[in-house]
Amino acid sequence: MRRALASGVDFRGGQHTIGGYSAGPVPPEPVPLWLGSQGPLMLAVTGRSSDGWISPLSTYLTPPAVPSRQQLIDEAALSAGRDPAALRRIYNVVGAIGAVRGGPGLSGDVQSWIDTLTDWSIELGFDTFVFWPTRAPLAQLEVFATEVVPGVRQRVSERRGQR
């Protein structure tokens, strides 16, 4: 994949053949490869070879299941001579912000979102959250971007002692 993005590929394998693919335009910097993975084999590939892990939607991979997945990625990275801290950790968060009860994923007011995402950043090791609103996507995105994101950044900074 890295070779294809940088220059092109002519590959003939047992199951796949890619002939005469040329990249273009070549990006000014290497394109980071983030893998969405959940099972042990792909988590190992993620740790050995990728630039980041995109976890499954938070409704599929709940917070209590995250540490064991992070550990598999970290172990694979270390085994490959890589620094696990160099990999991005992205969590797809499903839910709704506001006076909402029930429904899939995370729901609650802005402060509960800030508290929860701060905890997931500090305790679970995520550095990026992708928001998947379950209702009113544009209005939800605006609240997420203007209230939740700045609140989480501030709280994470405070908890890490970086005022």
pLDDT at residue 97, as a whole number: 95
> pLDDT (tens digit, 9 = 90+) per residue, 29-42?
888 999 999 999 99
> Looking at the chain, which residues constitute the CATH 3.20.20.30 domain(s)?
34-159
User: Is domain 34-159 given the CATH code 3.20.20.30 in the classification?
Assistant: yes
* pLDDT of 60 above 90: no
Give the mean pLDDT of 115-120.
Answer: 96
In this predicted model, which residue has the larger pLDDT, 26 or 88?
88
pLDDT for 74 beyond 80: yes
Give pTM, 2 decimals: 0.83
Q: What is the DSSP letter of 82?
A: -
| Percent composition of the chain: helix, strand, coil (DSSP 3-state, to 5) | 45, 25, 30
- Write down the pLDDT at residue 80: 97
